[in-house]
């Protein structure tokens, strides 16, 4: 046997074992302290990538759940407004039925018409002011606080209810129609339109057009030359612009009628009739869709209100169906999120039973390796006896 002290193989082996055991013990302590099996990419390179992808899906799914719940809140807000409008329509129908009875005097009909007018204005107010987080819901996409001037317009809302890029299964689209009195076909409580904001564009000094209204009659007079002359006014709050700038124009009933008719059509004003009087004037009348001024008018109003109730309830049913669908969407997304969390946990969560066992093992081995290192160092003391004389 060779006795040497320059190289203590036993001590080196014991030291290496102690270092290895100490690293294993630190790993176990880190996992027990954090609760994670993977605390760095070195712990499991593939597992880190998989866990990261799962984390993206989980966080996206959880946000999709919130999106769906917000969408449901928006839809339920809109449906609640529909319910109130439906209540108003039922009252309007009740008033129309009452007005259809010839036991009413002229004063009675005036009072009934006053209520009918206020009810239609309240429908317009609800359509203009029903919002979700500042987004107008029931005015067909018009600017906040106004009711769309074109009947049957709709606003489309897109909801992101999945975690991927837009696709047939990742988004839900819903269109909510304007429910103002105009769109429902119940905007007319009188046969005389309201005119306002009469003006003439006189940029060209040779333009000499005039516009005036009286009752339901519009008169455009004068002469437009030099390619200039735009006449503007509002009919029942809807802007109408008549452009005579294409060439010379001299006040003429037929020309006025054709130009006004086209302009009114372009403005999307429903229930309005333009009549050429043949004397340089044009009459603009409307149907009076919910007028109760007479027995026959009240009968017409009943039919128009029935049609409005049918249209409103069709959209209410659609909104209710979407709201119920979103219940299933939220339930499914919640189930997906829970399963993804479970999958991610199996990859990166620490097994406390295994890690606590590994820690105990490492602690015992550390103590043993330390003791063996001490023994290895002491074993070389025998060399000194050879040097004693």
Classify residue 296 as exposed, middle or buried by CB count within 10 Å of its CB (0-12, 13-18, 19+).
exposed
Question: Could you read off the pLDDT of 205-245 as tens digits, one per residue?
Answer: 555 667 778 877 887 777 666 555 677 888 877 888 877 66
Residues 58 and 113 occupy one common structural domain: yes
Angle at 124 (CA atoms; ends 231, 238), nearest 5 degrees: 5
Predicted confidence (pLDDT) at residue 42 exceeds the cutoff of 90:
no
The answer to the question of residue 276 being in a domain is yes
Half-sphere exposure of 232 (CA within 13 A, CB side): 9
Residues 59 and 208 occupy one common structural domain: no
The answer to the question of residue 209 being in a domain is yes
The answer to the question of residue 244 being in a domain is yes
Q: What is the mean pLDDT of residues 152-176?
A: 82
Q: How does strand 171-177 pair with strand 154-160?
A: antiparallel
Instruction: Assign 283 a pLDDT band (cuts: 50, 70, 90).
Output: confident
Residue 82: CATH number of its domain: 1.20.1330.10
Close Cβ partners of 72 (under 8 Å, ≥ 6 residues apart): 323, 326, 327, 330
- What per-residue confidence (pLDDT) applies to 129? 92
Which of 243, 260, 286 is the endpoint of a domain? 286
* Global model pTM greater than 0.75: no
Predicted confidence (pLDDT) at residue 249 exceeds the cutoff of 70:
no
The answer to the question of residue 261 being in a domain is yes
Q: What is the mean pLDDT of residues 305-334?
A: 94
The answer to the question of residue 346 being in a domain is no
> How many structural domains are present in the chain?
2
Sign of the alpha-carbon dihedral angle for 106, 112, 114, 117: negative
Residues 205 and 163 occupy one common structural domain: no
Q: What is the mean pLDDT of residues 352-371?
A: 83
Residues 157 and 93 occupy one common structural domain: yes
Residues 243 and 314 occupy one common structural domain: no
Residues 142 and 279 occupy one common structural domain: no
Structure token pair of residue 101: 């009875």
Place of tokens 């004037």: 281
> Higher confidence at residue 322 or residue 11?
322
Residues in the chain: 389
- What per-residue confidence (pLDDT) applies to 154? 83
What's the domain range around 306? 53-188+292-338
Residues 136 and 258 occupy one common structural domain: no
The answer to the question of residue 1 being in a domain is no
Classify residue 115 as exposed, middle or buried by CB count within 10 Å of its CB (0-12, 13-18, 19+).
middle
Q: What percent of the chain has pLDDT over 90?
A: 31
The answer to the question of residue 271 being in a domain is yes
Helices and strands, number each (H, E), in the chain: 8, 12
């Amino acid at each position: 046997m060779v006795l040497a002290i320059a190289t203590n193989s036993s001590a080196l082996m014991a030291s290496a074992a102690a270092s290895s055991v100490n690293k294993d013990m630190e790993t176990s302590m880190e996992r027990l302290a954090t609760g994670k099996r993977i605390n760095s990419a070195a712990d499991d390179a593939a597992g880190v990538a998989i866990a990261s992808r799962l984390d993206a899906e989980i966080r996206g799914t959880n946000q999709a759940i919130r999106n769906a719940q917000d969408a449901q809140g928006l839809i339920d807000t809109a449906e609640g407004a529909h319910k109130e409008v439906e209540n108003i329509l039922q009252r309007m129908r009740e008033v129309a039925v009452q007005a259809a009875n010839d036991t009413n005097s002229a004063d009675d009909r005036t009072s009934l018409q006053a209520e009918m007018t206020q009810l239609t204005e309240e429908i317009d107010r609800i359509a203009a002011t029903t919002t979700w987080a500042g987004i107008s819901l029931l005015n067909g996409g018009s600017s906040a606080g106004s009711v769309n001037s074109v009947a049957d317009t709709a606003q489309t809302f897109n909801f992101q209810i999945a975690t991927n890029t837009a696709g047939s299964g990742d988004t839900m689209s819903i269109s909510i129609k304007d429910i103002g009195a105009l769109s429902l076909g119940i905007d007319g409580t009188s046969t005389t339109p309201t005119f306002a904001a009469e003006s003439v564009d006189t940029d060209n000094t040779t333009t000499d057009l005039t516009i005036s209204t009286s009752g339901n009659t519009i008169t455009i007079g004068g002469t437009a030359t030099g390619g200039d002359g735009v006449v503007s006014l509002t009919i029942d709050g809807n802007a109408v612009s008549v452009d005579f700038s294409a060439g010379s124009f001299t006040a003429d009933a037929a020309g006025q009628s054709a130009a006004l008719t086209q302009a009114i059509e372009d403005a999307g004003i429903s229930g309005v009739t333009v009549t050429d009087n043949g004397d340089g004037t044009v009459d603009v009348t409307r149907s009076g869709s919910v007028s109760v001024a007479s027995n026959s008018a009240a009968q017409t109003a009943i039919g128009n209100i029935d049609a409005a109730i049918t249209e409103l309830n069709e959209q209410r049913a659609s909104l209710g169906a979407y709201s119920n669908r979103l219940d299933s969407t939220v339930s499914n997304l919640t189930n997906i999120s829970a399963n993804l969390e479970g999958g991610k946990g199996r990859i990166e969560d620490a097994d406390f039973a295994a890690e606590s066992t590994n820690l105990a093992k490492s602690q015992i081995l550390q103590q043993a390796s330390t003791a063996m290192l001490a023994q290895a160092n002491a074993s070389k003391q025998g060399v000194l006896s050879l040097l004693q004389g």
